[in-house]
Amino acid sequence: MASSTMAGAHDHPRGLRRFLFSTNHKDIGTLYIILGSVGGVIGFLLSLGMRLELAYPGVQIFPGLAEALQGADPSMALDAGKNLYNVFITVHGVLMIFFMAMPILIGGFGNWFVPIMIGAPDMAFPRLNNISFWLLFASLVLAVISMFVEGAPGMKGFGGGWTFYPPLSSNTGSPGPAMDFVILALHLAGASSILGAINFITTIFNMRAPGMTLHKMPLFVWSMLVTAFLLLLVLPVLAGCVTMLLTDRNFGTMFYDPAGGGDPLLFQHLLWFFGHPEVYIVILPGFGIISQIVSTFSKKPVFGYLGMAYAMVSIGVLGSIVWAHHMYTVGLSLNAQRYFTLATMVIAVPTGIKIFSWIATMWGGSISFRAPMVWAIGFIFVFTMGGITGVVLANASADKQFHEGYYVVAHFHYTLSLGAVFALYAGFYYWFPKMTGYMYSETLAKANFWLLFIGVNVVFFPQHFLGLGGMPRRYIDYPDAYALWNLVSSSGMIFVTLSLVVWFYAIIEAFMKKRLAGANPWGVGATTLEWTLSSPPPFHQFQVLPRITGASR
């Protein structure tokens, strides 16, 4: 970025001022990607701990970890270890969703490329953008601190799963301040995302270049628009939900306490009214990225552009009215279960449209298998795998066999750990030359793909068998019959770990070799506006707004 040409009256700050006080959408995007990578690595290390523990029946490593990480007394180490395992699953979930997937996909790629793709010089509210980022940073700090303060009596950290159901998260289950740290972390992350969503919506509605109508916007921008609306609608519900938990814990209210006329199920309804749209918040930007990449490397416009855009809108709308399919076993009435079964299954239709349209985009194309395209094809397959088990779980009747078991774990990791993460890597390699100006090594990027593809499939495919066999999730130890598939699952982590090493090496290698990427490394297929700018783009782009005349994609 040092090569960027400075023009006009705008300042071009350097060093600490540039990044700490940044109001530049590209710098803030970079900060988000770095924060997301840090969150992702911590989240990965937590999952590595879990898989190491689960490799064999019995409790092996967590008592030692509790002594080392939390300073647990050796006489209490076994209990502290069991608690720490639950803390790990909780923080793993929180980090991967709020501090890995969302920051990189929305804050990172969204900030970087939404303004550029619509021909805008920057986001609508640059200072709001800055505070969005630093709120998230503060939130990450609070979330990590929560692991080291008291939660359950005599234990450190909150270990109740990322869904924080009371009474386990209220004073009954965790009277210590760990849960308060988590609540405040959620407040800050929520505020950060709401501000970011306002910024995206305003930018997309008001700052499109002349000729860039809504129906000409690239699908990535469409995906960010739907995501921003979902964030704006559901995050206030989460904020209210956890605020009531905060007052229950500290100020004697009884929203979720049956002893005072409250109901723990109120929390679950509110949490999932946020939580289900949240999974689409994580995956929709991925849909957008995959659409751009498949079109670029097939050298064809996206097949069924309007259908693709409105499929995302309908996924957003439908995704907001199916929340109780996470609650089939709480004792919902028969009619409620019927409704949520049917409504949930309907989501398969727009999702199917997306998958078939991606394949139809490739059909008749002239596909070049560069690394981003390989990641994108991998995404389509693993996301289909996660989608079809989603159809199984949509049925309240079948869900009674799988609820809170490993089938569910396999399902949502296929959509998120494989789906969202593959989209994220696809986007990373797709835009890496644009963001840095340097070309990555094709060999390393593909090695990264194959290692992760093999790794996550070995980790998560056998978990379907565990779930069918009846293994509950969030267990530090399991009956010996589940040993075989747990060992297979854990062994996949070897490949996953290697893939991360290769990823880091690929980044370092690209910066050391300094192969210049040029404005458009992808050729004729890359038709969105970012490829008309230099790589990396100038500090302030589009001093003169571009005029869009051609066909949309």
Partner 1 sequence: MFNVNRQMLTRGALAAAVAISATLFAGFALAQVEGQPTPGGLGLPNMVTPVGLGTQQFYNMVLMPIISFIALFVLGLLVYVSYRFNEQKNPIPSKLTHNTPLEIVWTLIPVLILLFISVPSLRLLAEQVEVPEASVTIKVTGNQWYWSYKYPEDQGGGFGFDQMMKPESELQPGDLRLLSVDNEAVVPVNEVIAVHITSNDVIHAFGVPSFGVRMDAIPGRLNQTWFKIEKEGVYYGQCFFICGKDHAYMPIVIRAVSREKYNEWLAEAKQKFASADSRVRVAAESH
Residues 326-345 that bind partner 1 (CB under 8 A): 329-331, 333-334, 337-338, 341-342, 345
CB of 153 to partner 1, least distance (A): 10
DSSP result, 202-219: HHHHH-PPTT--GGGS-H
| Residue among 536, 330, 549 nearest 434 (CA) | 536
Q: Is 354 a catalytic residue?
A: yes
Q: Which phi and psi (to 5°) does residue 27 adopt?
A: -65, -40
The SS3 of residue 384 is helix
Q: Which is nearer to partner 1, 21 or 363 (CB)?
A: 363
Active-site pick, 51, 187, 208, 276: 276
Site for partner 1 in 72-91 (CB under 8 A): 79, 82-83, 86, 89
| Residues numbered 8-67 forming contacts with partner 1, rule: CB under 8 A | 57
499 is catalytic: no
Could you tell me which of 182, 135, 114, 140 has the C-alpha nearest to residue 36?
140
Q: With binding defined as CB under 8 A, does residue 181 bind partner 1?
A: no
Contact 272, 162 (CB under 8 A): no
- The yes-or-no answer on residue 193 being catalytic is yes
- 291 counts as catalytic: yes
Marked catalytic residue, from 326, 403, 446, 540: 326
Q: Which of 32, 256, 272, 280 is catalytic?
A: 280
What is the chain's Cα-based Rg?
23
Q: Which residue in the set 352, 441, 509, 519 belongs to the binding site for partner 1 (CB under 8 A)? A: 352
| Number of residues this chain uses to bind partner 1 (CB under 8 A) | 95
Q: Which is nearer to partner 1, 232 or 483 (CB)?
A: 483
Q: To the nearest whole angstrom, how small is the minimum distance from the Cβ of residue 154 to partner 1? A: 10
Q: Among 107, 115, 405, 536, which residue interacts with partner 1 (rule: CB under 8 A)?
A: 405
Distance, CA of 160 to chain centre: 20
Q: What element of type H or E holds 360?
A: helix 348-362
Q: Which of residues 195-224 bind partner 1 (CB under 8 A)?
A: none
**Candidates 95-103, 118-126, 130-138, 480-488 — which segment interacts with partner 1 by CB under 8 A?**
480-488
CA angle, corner 128, sides to 126 and 130, nearest 5?
75
The minimum distance between CB 188 and partner 1, in angstroms, equals: 25
Residue whose CB is less far from partner 1, 64 or 161:
161
Does 403 bind partner 1 (CB under 8 A)? Our answer is: yes
Q: What does the block give as tokens for 183?
A: 């609540």
263 noted as active-site residue: no
Q: Nearest-5° angle of CA 10, CA 13, CA 17?
A: 135
Q: Measured from the CB of residue 239, what is the shortest distance to partner 1 in angstroms?
A: 23
- Catalytic residue, chosen from 27, 122, 248, 257, is 122
Residues 276-335 contacting partner 1, CB under 8 A: 298-305, 307, 329-331, 333-334
Establish if 547 lies at the interface with partner 1 (CB under 8 A).
no
- Residues 144-173 binding partner 1 (CB under 8 A) are 152, 155, 159-161, 165, 167-168, 172-173
251-270 residues in contact with partner 1 (CB under 8 A) are: 258-259, 262-265
**Is residue 360 a contact residue for partner 1 (CB under 8 A)?**
yes
Cβ(114)–Cβ(200) under 8 Å? yes
First to last CA, the chain: 29
- Closest approach of Cβ 331 to partner 1, in Å? 4
Residue 276: active-site member = yes
Whole-number Å distance between alpha carbons of 341 and 394: 5
CA distances from 65 to 62, 68, 143, 277 (A): 5, 5, 19, 35
Contact yes or no for 424/448 (Cβ under 8 A): no
CB of 166 to partner 1, least distance (A): 8
Is 215 one of the annotated active-site residues of the chain?
no
Name 438's bridge partners: 516
Minimum Å distance from CB 192 to partner 1?
27
Residue 487 vs 507, nearer CB to partner 1: 487
Q: Is 364 helix (H, G, I), strand (E, B) or coil?
A: coil
Cβ–Cβ < 8 Å for 51, 490: yes
Residue from 13, 175, 236, 470 in contact with partner 1 (CB under 8 A): 470
| Annotation says 23 is catalytic | no
Contact between residue 404 and residue 467 where contact means Cβ atoms under 8 Å apart:
no
Which stretch of DSSP H or E encloses residue 201? helix 178-206
162 is catalytic: yes
Q: CA neighbours within 13 Å on the CB side: how many for 373?
A: 19
Contact (CB, 8 A) for 520 and 526: yes
Instruction: Give the catalytic positions in this structure.
Output: 92, 122, 162, 192-193, 276, 278, 280, 291, 325-326, 351, 354, 473
